[in-house]
Chain A
């Protein structure tokens, strides 16, 4: 019955995908920001130490006896050297002429009053250099002194690498956490949808009440249209039940009229050939009304099994009632009906359907039995299963064709002139199968033994 819809994409996968991608981008941006910030902070620190050294050198420069004297404050420089393995260089120029230090340090450009910084390759590595100027008056002439202090950047690079590692780890951690959250959020966000699907598919098939339970606002339109669909379904179901009933009425009433008139005619007619003809007519009428009845019953049974509605059914009570109904018919042919029940055979099922299945089986037992015989019914439990067994003394099913007898329209050679359509056992089997049970046919002794098996409930 249930057919899967055509699937295109998954909300869950799409949501998770988008959320994970988003967190990946966020994590990358975060890592870049952290690294950049760290680089700036480290650079600023180095710069300010370098500039502090430059300023302290400039401060110690004095003019003595018309000469510029430099008193290198080793404390400042060694402070630089102590920080790391980095090497320190310096240079002091007076009006562009080297006073002391490394002459081949890169050109500082125009450092201005505030001082300036450059990063440049030097001595097979990279250095950071701070430079500042000051004007000194030597014998009345102003002389511009320029002091540069430089340091290699290994320490800085190491710090940066470390920061990057930590930053990367934090980024990955962030990403994993965010992805996990994305999955969880998606899961819980989709729960109302799953709950709704579950609630609808868990329902009994005849349960056509509207869906009620609280749903999130976004799902309200879905539930509304689902409910209106259920409404339409309920309407069309009741229509088809009525249709089948109406069809039965239309077919059976005229047949009944003709049959009754034929019975009357038979009473009045004397000549054997006329009587035979009328009997043949009645037989044909019975055949067609039986066929119509069984076809409609079969349609009804198929319809009901498709929408199986289960309730507690007591097999012994159901069987007793049915036997009471059939007894007048059995009496007509002096066939005794006996029932015997044991245990507490309660099953979950549709009582109308089960009754119809049993009726078809009992109907056969009565129909195929000779006058003056007995039909015995036994109701009980075996191995957790409940059963109704019907035994007769009617000679049994045709040997060899036994397994075929539950097929549609299958009739045995033993049916002879007995009216029937070959649907009785088909109906019974379909009812049992719809209930998760089975119908077994056997020949026992001088008759048939048909058993309706119901699963343990």
Chain B
């Protein structure tokens, strides 16, 4: 996905940029409202991540002008305020969603997905591999003429595999990405989800291969 991050703190911005790029996203960074407007009008982004406490104009101004300019790019607000203290909700100002700092990036991803799904965009995100069709936004997998809805963890697991076919993912890495850090799960918990995915993929030419002592990879038969 292509993100625009509007964030005034440089250290925070560079951390977020690195983190999003790790997951294969393309991210631009605007340090203030002025530059954010320039970026937003120059390029097409899937999503704008907007910090609400910016030096020039609190970020709310950007939201207002963004909506006034009829820019359709959805905005997710990053806020440090608690919802209890916000006298004017950012949702009322035209944000699509907000997330409270600090957050887990899997939550941000889930929110982005939900926003994009609501917006009805994302036909472009449909992925084909072998004879399967995978739509991560809708959460569906088509094998032959069979269409299954994936549960969230299955969906994310398949997404990870498909991001790099034939690459081996170790169990610990997969656990990191599927579970939050405070969930006390063993590496073997991943087997359950691999098992489910295999059931869904049965009958296709795509399979998830166990690589002894290393992990799993997805490949075409």
Interface positions of A (Cβ within 8 A of B) = 241, 244-245, 248-249, 251-253, 255-257, 259-261, 263-264, 266-267, 272, 275, 279, 282-283, 285-286, 289, 293, 296-297, 300-301, 304, 325, 327-329, 331-334, 352-353, 355-356, 359, 371-372, 416-419
Contact of A331 with B152 in the complex, beta carbons under 8 Å: yes
Assembly CA distance A207 to B22 (angstroms): 51
Contact of B81 with A248 in the complex, beta carbons under 8 Å: yes
User: When A256-B102, A332-B107 are in contact, do A272 and B172 touch as well, CB less than 8 Å?
Assistant: yes
Contact of B12 with A332 in the complex, beta carbons under 8 Å: no
Assembly CA distance A296 to B182 (angstroms): 22
- B11: CB under 8 A from chain A? yes
Q: Which residue of chain B lies nearest to A328 when distances are taken between CB atoms in the complex?
A: B110
* Chain B 64-85 residues near chain A, CB threshold 8 A: 80-85
Contact of B152 with A356 in the complex, beta carbons under 8 Å: no
Contact of B16 with A266 in the complex, beta carbons under 8 Å: no
Contact of B12 with A263 in the complex, beta carbons under 8 Å: no
Contact of A260 with B19 in the complex, beta carbons under 8 Å: yes
Contact of B83 with A352 in the complex, beta carbons under 8 Å: yes
**Is the contact region of chain A dominated by helix, strand, or loop, or is it mixed?**
helix
Contact of A300 with B184 in the complex, beta carbons under 8 Å: no
Assembly CA distance A192 to B107 (angstroms): 59
- B168: CB under 8 A from chain A? no
B-side contacts of A241, CB under 8 Å: 85, 87
Assembly CA distance A272 to B186 (angstroms): 13
- B106: CB under 8 A from chain A? yes
Assembly CA distance A179 to B25 (angstroms): 89
Interface centre among A255, A325, A355, A372 (most CB of B within 10 A): A325
User: When A285-B102, A289-B102, A293-B82 are in contact, do A328 and B12 touch as well, CB less than 8 Å?
Assistant: no
Contact of A334 with B151 in the complex, beta carbons under 8 Å: yes
Contact of A255 with B102 in the complex, beta carbons under 8 Å: yes
Return the contact of B82 from the options A259, A296, A331, A372 (Cβ within 8 A). A296
User: When A283-B181, A417-B182 are in contact, do A257 and B15 touch as well, CB less than 8 Å?
Assistant: yes
Contact of A419 with B182 in the complex, beta carbons under 8 Å: yes
Q: Which residue of chain A lies nearest to B107 when distances are taken between CB atoms in the complex?
A: A329
Contact of A248 with B16 in the complex, beta carbons under 8 Å: no
Contact of A300 with B107 in the complex, beta carbons under 8 Å: no
Return the contact of B84 from the options A261, A352, A371, A416 (Cβ within 8 A). A352
B102 to chain A, nearest CB (A): 4
Assembly CA distance A296 to B84 (angstroms): 9
B-side contacts of A279, CB under 8 Å: 181
- B127: CB under 8 A from chain A? no
- B163: CB under 8 A from chain A? no
- Scan B142-180; emit 1 where CB is below 8 A from any A CB, else 0: 000000000111000000000000000000110010001
- B114: CB under 8 A from chain A? yes
B-side contacts of A256, CB under 8 Å: 12, 80, 101-103
Contact of A356 with B184 in the complex, beta carbons under 8 Å: no
B-side contacts of A252, CB under 8 Å: 80, 100-102
B135 to chain A, nearest CB (A): 16
Assembly CA distance A255 to B80 (angstroms): 11
Return the contact of A275 from the options B104, B105, B172, B182 (Cβ within 8 A). B172
Task: Please name 8 pairs of A and B residues whose Cβ atoms are closer than 8 Å in the assembled complex, sorted by A.
Answer: A251-B80, A252-B80, A257-B9, A257-B11, A282-B181, A297-B82, A328-B113, A334-B152
Return the contact of A304 from the options B84, B181, B184 (Cβ within 8 A). B84
Assembly CA distance A333 to B185 (angstroms): 13
Assembly CA distance A197 to B141 (angstroms): 69
3 closest A-B pairs by CB? A256-B102, A328-B110, A260-B15
- B201: CB under 8 A from chain A? no
User: When A249-B53, A256-B101 are in contact, do A300 and B85 touch as well, CB less than 8 Å?
Assistant: yes
Contact of A263 with B84 in the complex, beta carbons under 8 Å: no
B-side contacts of A245, CB under 8 Å: 81-82, 85-86
B-side contacts of A332, CB under 8 Å: 106-107, 110, 152-153, 180
B-side contacts of A416, CB under 8 Å: 184
If A327-B114, A352-B84 are given as contacts, then 20 extra A-B residue pairs at C-beta distance below 8 Å, sorted by A number, are A241-B87, A248-B82, A249-B53, A255-B101, A259-B102, A260-B12, A260-B102, A261-B15, A261-B18, A263-B105, A267-B176, A275-B172, A328-B110, A329-B107, A331-B114, A333-B152, A334-B153, A359-B83, A372-B151, A418-B182
Assembly CA distance A115 to B173 (angstroms): 140
A-side contacts of B152, CB under 8 Å: 331-334
Q: Which residue of chain B lies nearest to A272 when distances are taken between CB atoms in the complex?
A: B172
A259 to chain B, nearest CB (A): 5
A273 to chain B, nearest CB (A): 12
Q: Which residue of chain A lies nearest to B151 when distances are taken between CB atoms in the complex?
A: A334
User: When A301-B84, A353-B84 are in contact, do A264 and B22 touch as well, CB less than 8 Å?
Assistant: yes
B189 to chain A, nearest CB (A): 9
Contact of B102 with A244 in the complex, beta carbons under 8 Å: no
Assembly CA distance A257 to B7 (angstroms): 12
Assembly CA distance A352 to B11 (angstroms): 33
Assembly CA distance A416 to B182 (angstroms): 10
A156 to chain B, nearest CB (A): 90
A-side contacts of B176, CB under 8 Å: 266-267
B-side contacts of A253, CB under 8 Å: 9, 12, 80, 101
A-side contacts of B97, CB under 8 Å: 325
Assembly CA distance A329 to B111 (angstroms): 8
Assembly CA distance A286 to B12 (angstroms): 17
Assembly CA distance A297 to B82 (angstroms): 7
Assembly CA distance A203 to B103 (angstroms): 40
B-side contacts of A267, CB under 8 Å: 22, 173, 176
Contact of A331 with B110 in the complex, beta carbons under 8 Å: yes
